[in-house]
Each structure stands twice: as C-alpha cells, then as structure tokens.
Amino acid sequence: MTAASLSAWRGPRRSTLRLIARYAAAIVVTIVFLFPVYWLFMIAFKTPDEIFHAPPVWYPASIQFDNFAVLFKDRDAVTVGNSLFIAGCSTLVSMFLGTLCAYSLARFKTGGENLAVWIISQRMVPPIAIVFPLFLLYVWLGWVDTYYGMILLYTAFNLPYVIWMMRGYIEDVPIDLEQSALVDGCTRWQVLMRVVFPMVRTGLFATAVFTFVFAWNDFIFALVMTRSAVTTYPVQVTHYFGAQSNFWAKIAAMSMLGTLPVLIAVAALQRYLVRGISLGAVKG
C-alpha cells in the first residue's frame, strides 16, 4: 500500500473522530453557558421546598405557576408593563427621528464624518456620568418617576445608536432608485416613505428590536429616575434582594417574565445579531 492511499484510508476516520470530539466540546460549552439561564427559569417553577433544599434540586418535580401568580396578585407584574410601554414608546420615537437624521447624514453628508462620529461618541459616555446631572434636571422639571421622562431619556440614549446603524443601512441602498423617483417628481418626503423606508425595512426592524432591548434591559437610568409609579422590571428584580436572604421565587419569576420576550425577539433576529451588537462594524 502506498503512502498516499494509506493516508486516504485513514483520512475519513480521523476526520470523523475529530468531528465527534468537536461535537462533544460544542455540547459541553453550550451546557455551561446555558446552565445559569436554565437554573433561573427552573427556580421560577419550583415550590419553596424545592428552592430551599440542600443539596439543590436540579429540576422541579412538577411545573407550577404559583410564583408567577403571586407577581400578578401583588401587582408587581405591572413593572413588566411599564417596561413595555416605556421601551416601546422610546423605540418608536427614536426610530422615527433617528432614521430621518440618518437619511440626511447618509445622503447629504450633513456635517460630514465629524458629526456622525460625534453622534456615536455620545453613546460611549458612561451613563453614571450623565445620569447624575440629569437627575438634578429632572427633579427641577418634575420629570422624575414619569412615563414621558423615561421615554425621553431612553429616546436620547438610543438615538445615537439608531442614527449610526440606520446610516449604515441607508448607505447600503443604491442611490439610483431615489434619483429616478426624484426625477419623476417625488418630493423628498415621498422618496423617504415610498423608496427608502421599504428598501431598508429589515434594517429598520433589526435596529428597532435592538433599540427596544437596550431600553428594556437598562438598569442604572431606571434605578435613579423611577420611584414607584413607573418602576421598570429590572429595578423591580433588585427590590427582591435581601441582606440576609433573597426572595428567590420572585427574583426568578420576575426575571423570567422580563427575559423571555427578549429571547424570543433575538431568536427571530439571528441574522442581524452580529451587525446589531458590533455597532455595524461587522456586517456578519
């Protein structure tokens, strides 16, 4: 047997072994990364006896929804509604204003590259540095713990992201279509509504979901700017922390209520995930 045919014979078996090894590694890695999520979700379905059992119970004996029922009975679940309303409204406003601004930046090069870089740099400022003076402003204006105060806050916080991302998506659209629409007598507004928006609708959708998630997941702004009327769900989760012991079932159930919608949204977004989280730097 020649050396060539020997390696040809050994080849497939070695690659099969390699594939199996890679599968094993992939499964182990996935289990490690998913275990915390699994644990959190399982606690939400456990009875108090199962939660406070040493050694820990790895899965609940039966699925029961008492932990969630308590949240609705105590009206704590309202905080998820607050999150939904605030994140939803701020997403709509920032998407509308941000996309218009992005169109101007992309097509007319308004302000040149400098303006665009300044806008995205606004997102890099640490929240703690701006939340403190803003808090003083909000106290003075009486905007603390109000829906519109929170919506404006998240709109401003997300605008740089929306503008930056949508500028990239709009630049990807060939300019010819717009020009022929203009020649045909469309106004700029008509071009925007009938040509640009339909062309970038997937980008619009992906950016909107990320914008929503950023507002939905924010903790520090909500911690400072809400009291009781418009508390969002991440703040509510921390209300269940105790110095000596935690309200485990409530932490888990509330976290799950708040996390599940986001996970579903992201599952639908797989294709845009890379571009969305890398600020457009990687087109995936």
Least gap, CB of 185 to other proteins (angstroms): 7
Residue found by looking up tokens 């941000």 in the block: 98
Rg over alpha carbons for the chain, rounded to the nearest Å, is 25
How many angstroms separate the CA atoms of 21 and 151, rounded?
50
Handedness of CA 99, 276, 220, 78 (dihedral sign): positive
DSSP-assigned letters across all residues of 208-226: HHHHHHHHHH--HHHHHH-
Q: Which of residues 106-135 bind other proteins (CB under 8 A)?
A: 107-108, 110-111, 119, 121-122, 124-130, 132-135
User: Rounded to whole angstroms, what are the CA distances from 212 to 57, 152, 170, 252, 271?
Assistant: 35, 14, 20, 22, 17
Least gap, CB of 23 to other proteins (angstroms): 7
Q: Residue 100: which of 200, 245, 250 has the closest Cα?
A: 200
Least gap, CB of 27 to other proteins (angstroms): 8
Residues ≥6 apart with Cβ < 8 Å to 100: 192
The pair of three-digit structure tokens given for residue 62, joined into one six-digit string? 């039966």
Identity of the residue, 188 or 194, whose beta carbon is nearer to other proteins in the bound complex: 188
**Which one of residues 53, 73, 201, 227 is an interface residue with other proteins (CB under 8 A)?**
53
Do residues 51 and 248 make contact, with C-beta atoms less than 8 angstroms apart? yes
**Which one of residues 29, 61, 69, 193 is an interface residue with other proteins (CB under 8 A)?**
29
Least gap, CB of 6 to other proteins (angstroms): 18
Do residues 252 and 41 make contact, with C-beta atoms less than 8 angstroms apart? yes
Least gap, CB of 24 to other proteins (angstroms): 11
Least gap, CB of 173 to other proteins (angstroms): 16
Q: Which of residues 62-101 bind other proteins (CB under 8 A)?
A: 97-98, 100-101
**Which one of residues 47, 51, 78, 194 is an interface residue with other proteins (CB under 8 A)?**
51
Residue 3 found at the interface with other proteins (CB under 8 A): no
How far is C-alpha 147 from the geometric centre of its chain's CA atoms? 20
Residue 284 found at the interface with other proteins (CB under 8 A): yes
Q: Which of residues 151-210 bind other proteins (CB under 8 A)?
A: 152-153, 155-157, 159-160, 163, 179, 182-183, 185, 187-188
One-letter amino acid at 264 equals I
Which contacts of 130-133 are long-range, i.e. CB under 8 A and separated by 24 or more positions?
131/220, 131/221, 131/224, 131/225, 132/224
Least gap, CB of 18 to other proteins (angstroms): 9
Identity of the residue, 62 or 176, whose beta carbon is nearer to other proteins in the bound complex: 176
Q: Which of residues 234-263 bind other proteins (CB under 8 A)?
A: 234, 237-238, 241, 246, 248, 251-252, 255, 258-259, 262-263
Q: Give the binding range for other proteins (CB under 8 A) out of 64-72, 74-82, 194-202, 217-225.
A: 217-225
